[in-house]
Structure 1
Amino acid sequence: MPDASGSAIAMSRPGLFSRFADDQTERRYSERARTLRLPFVRLYGVIFMVVALAYSIVNPIFLASVDNAQLAIMLGLALLTCGAYIGTTFWDGYVRHAVIDFIALLALSILVGRINVLLMEHLASLNQGLHVIGVINKLIIVAFAAVTLAGMPRSFLIWLACDFLIWFAQITSGQPQLSAVVYAALSFSSGALIMAAINLAVGRTSRAAFQLADSLDAERARNEELVLNMLPPAAVDRIRSGLLVADSYADASVIFIDMVGFSTLAKRVSPGHLVEMLNGFFNHADACARQFGVEKVKTVGDAYLAIAGGNVASGNSADAAIAFARAVIAGVPEMGRSAGVEVGLRAGIHSGPVVGGVIGETRMAYDYWGDTVNIAARLDGTAPANGIAISEITWLRARDRTGFDKPVTINLKGVGDVDVYIAQPPLAGKLDDAA
């Protein structure tokens, strides 16, 4: 997510050593995987410290003072290193820096290797050939690294190679018998190979799981965007809570904008051309709505219905509605050039109370009702080409009344006589006003 950002992820199955093609996706995967492994890392660190303390308690019972002092120093360093490592995991930037794991685990492995050498020397002095203890102790660290560095197989193999070389140098420093070295190397190598397989398996499955989860997150984000494109956020929250969505707004301004001569135009151009023109008109109106804080309600045929003072706060609703209508109509020349034919728009605005809400359970949309909506639709039909017709209520509510002519009384169907103020911009064309 995309992230809910919506970033694309290739849906092919990840290979053993593959990375996501997009660096940002690879980084998000690494940080998420390391975050999920944090409890394991801390738990292992605590277990390691408990075991180290147990060795510190047991060693004085069986070892001479000199040997015990050397082991005490190594165990103390191991405890400090592990404690610092655990502390680092609580740093906010820990998940962004995988090198912390690499260095800390290698340091712990070196210290454990040195502790093992001292223990094996003690056992050798007792004629006890228990080199397997050292191998097991080393493989415990390797197992931790295999899981901690899962998803980063190259880093793990480099770490494993460094660990093996340091460990091999430690066990051969005392000129042991060749057979002992061979068997110890075979024991360590066989265990290390198993741990490498575990590292690859965990890494591959975690990448696949991340890929699936990220795809689901991206799809969920797209669905959320679609829902919020149709419904206000507050309405979505109420619907999810099972509540009825019904609101009243006492001071809203409703805007109807449609294309002049649409019926005639539909007969002149192809269906594809007509859809392209409408799409250009609606996209331009959407951009203007965002600019002036006006809420798009819906489109009906060639008409665009919007409202100021509804779910979207817009200050003076009349001023916002008029500014929005002027901005939409100002785009007529560009729409005409893009369409290749003469285009005209007209707008009607009326202010007053409205009721808004969501009705039904399928294809839901937030709609508005009331006389204010009906009157705005009627006023739209009285506006000239590329002009705006507003009611007296809107004119009185507005602070910017420039560009409007003196009122004319017009009889609106189903409404009666209404004083209408008309603004005819300079770009008005000679289009036929027939709908």
Structure 2
Amino acid sequence: MEQPGVFSTFGDRATEARYNETARTLRTPFVRLYAVLFMSVMLAYSVVNPLYLHPVENARLAFWLGVALMTTGIYIGATFWRDYVRHPMVDFAALLAISLIVARINFVLFDHLLHIHDDLHAVGVVNRLAITAFAAVTLAGRPRLFLAWLGCDLIGWLGQVLPGQAADAALAYALLSYLSGALVMAAINLAVGRTSRAAFMLADSLDAERARNEELVLNMLPPTAVERIRTGQMVADSYADASVIFIDMVGFSKLAKRVSPGHLVELLNSFFNHADACAREHGVEKVKTVGDAYLAIAGGNVPSGNSADAAIAFARAVLCGVDELRRVAGVDEVGLRAGIHSGPVVGGVIGATRMAYDYWGDTVNIAARLEGTAAANGIAISESTWLRATDRSSFGPPNMIALKGVGETCVFQTAVVDATGEGKAAA
């Protein structure tokens, strides 16, 4: 995002709208404070005037002071309008009205000073420069609108001054005084606008970077784990009914000896991206990748209803991508196989660097062993997963298989999962 020019805006209309709403929201409390201060000044004049003014002059002044107080009160009320920050013309109109009212108040005070022939060489009226300063800050970030306000204010001021002005010198000095103050306030308006835009750009870029970092963290850790880590809590969870899925690439070691490293990375990337998409579709949580193996879990941090059904549906969807993997690899020997086991697991985050949410327990180990017993492009599930599943039609009869570190285990297998996701029962 580039810093816009002096009189230009952000190129993106949405960014410009966000900037204006943010800046005006931050300035709103100060707008109210300034308006309250102005009302206090008007009240002070209301208290002092009866001490020095003739009743007729005091009545005229009291009327215009009342109008000023009422206008400012309405202005303060408008700042509480829900859509106030989207309409800078509210400030434009209110400040212009206040400025013109103050000009009328000053005429009454000038007439009083002339009648008493006061020789005091000091300002004896309400300082209109304060109103201009108010407008310069309130309309910061919109220099064209502020210059338009100055132009309207000047026309209104001249409209009140010229009819009763006989001396050219007095008018010349009055114009010099007005224009010098207006130029200074225009410079302040530009300065405040430029600095506020620069601050908005910095804050916006920090927010974007924070969002990217947040997205990266949430890709590695579950949201609930992130919140606990931020509060200094230990992340350790127990899940009584989860289904762990291991999916491995068949013939990967042989293929690694035949293809280039870049080709191999492209193949793995295609496999893992496909598995990630299937995990999102079936409500399965990706845990990690280990070499050419993909580890996922149903019923962990991501709710999935029947964890066994979700795990089997996920495994079938991943195995449907074998044809695409073969196309990427350029050989027909590439295949996938999956192992699923259901049971209790323990999950959590360990370590202080390169943190990741991992799962442990016999359920994870048995799923890894089952994956090795599956046929190429087939699925092997344990008895606990088979009993938990509602659709068992694609699985063959049970086989007792000795798993390393586990012992004799009852295993149900599918022979092949075709492109439709259906598995043929193993004989």
Could you say which TM-score interval applies, normalised by the shorter chain? over 0.9
Structure-1 residue corresponding to 2:257: 267
Structure 2 unaligned regions, length at least 5: 422-427
Whole-Å Cα distance in 2 between the matches of residues 341 and 101 of structure 1?
A: 71
Structure-1 residue corresponding to 2:418: 426
Structure-2 residue corresponding to 1:232: 222
Of residues 388, 391, 403 in structure 2, which corresponds to 1:412? 403
Q: Secondary structure at the match of 1:350?
A: strand
Structure-2 residue corresponding to 1:370: 361
Change (3 A) 1:99 1:344: farther
Using the TM superposition, give the Cα deviation of residue 300 of structure 1 relative to its aligned residue in structure 2, in angstroms: 0.9
Structure-2 residue corresponding to 1:68: 58
Q: Secondary structure at the match of 1:172?
A: helix
Using the TM superposition, give the Cα deviation of residue 277 of structure 1 relative to its aligned residue in structure 2, in angstroms: 2.2
Using the TM superposition, give the Cα deviation of residue 109 of structure 1 relative to its aligned residue in structure 2, in angstroms: 1.2
Q: Secondary structure at the match of 2:66?
A: helix
Structure-2 residue corresponding to 1:395: 386
1:19-168 alignment runs, 5 A limit: 19-128=9-118, 133=123, 137-168=127-158
Structure-2 residue corresponding to 1:4: none
Using the TM superposition, give the Cα deviation of residue 34 of structure 1 relative to its aligned residue in structure 2, in angstroms: 1.2
Whole-Å Cα distance in 1 between the matches of residues 351 and 386 of structure 2?
A: 36
Structure 1 unaligned regions, length at least 5: 1-9, 430-435
Q: Kindly, what percent of the aligned residue pairs are identical?
A: 71
Change (3 A) 1:129 1:297: farther
Whole-Å Cα distance in 1 between the matches of residues 53 and 246 of structure 2?
A: 93
Of residues 371, 375, 391 in structure 2, which corresponds to 1:380? 371
Q: Secondary structure at the match of 2:164?
A: coil
2:106–2:126 CA contact under 8 A, matched in 1 = no
Of residues 273, 283, 299 in structure 2, which corresponds to 1:309? 299
Using the TM superposition, give the Cα deviation of residue 92 of structure 1 relative to its aligned residue in structure 2, in angstroms: 2.4
1:34–1:95 CA contact under 8 A, matched in 2 = yes
**Deviation digits for residues 302-352 of structure 1, max 9, x if unmatched?**
111111111111111111111111122223334444565544222110011
Using the TM superposition, give the Cα deviation of residue 118 of structure 1 relative to its aligned residue in structure 2, in angstroms: 2.6
**Deviation digits for residues 412-432 of structure 1, max 9, x if unmatched?**
222122121112323499xxx
Residue 238 (structure 2) pairs with residue 245 (structure 1): no
Tell me the TM-score normalized by structure 1. 0.90
Whole-Å Cα distance in 1 between the matches of residues 385 and 370 of structure 2?
A: 12
Whole-Å Cα distance in 2 between the matches of residues 335 and 132 of structure 1?
A: 89
Q: Secondary structure at the match of 1:173?
A: helix
Whole-Å Cα distance in 2 between the matches of residues 135 and 180 of structure 1?
A: 16
| Segment of structure 1 superposing worse, 202-211 or 123-132 | 123-132
Change (3 A) 1:192 1:270: same
Whole-Å Cα distance in 2 between the matches of residues 74 and 338 of structure 1?
A: 83
Whole-Å Cα distance in 2 between the matches of residues 175 and 86 of structure 1?
A: 35
1:248–1:353 CA contact under 8 A, matched in 2 = yes
What is the identity, as a one-letter code, of the residue corresponding to 1:359?
Answer: I
Whole-Å Cα distance in 1 between the matches of residues 126 and 179 of structure 2?
A: 12
**Deviation digits for residues 119-164 of structure 1, max 9, x if unmatched?**
2233233344889748862111000111111111111111111111
Change (3 A) 1:267 1:130: farther
2:249–2:293 CA contact under 8 A, matched in 1 = yes
Change (3 A) 1:303 1:52: same
Q: Secondary structure at the match of 1:268?
A: coil
1:117–1:134 CA contact under 8 A, matched in 2 = no
Change (3 A) 1:95 1:193: same
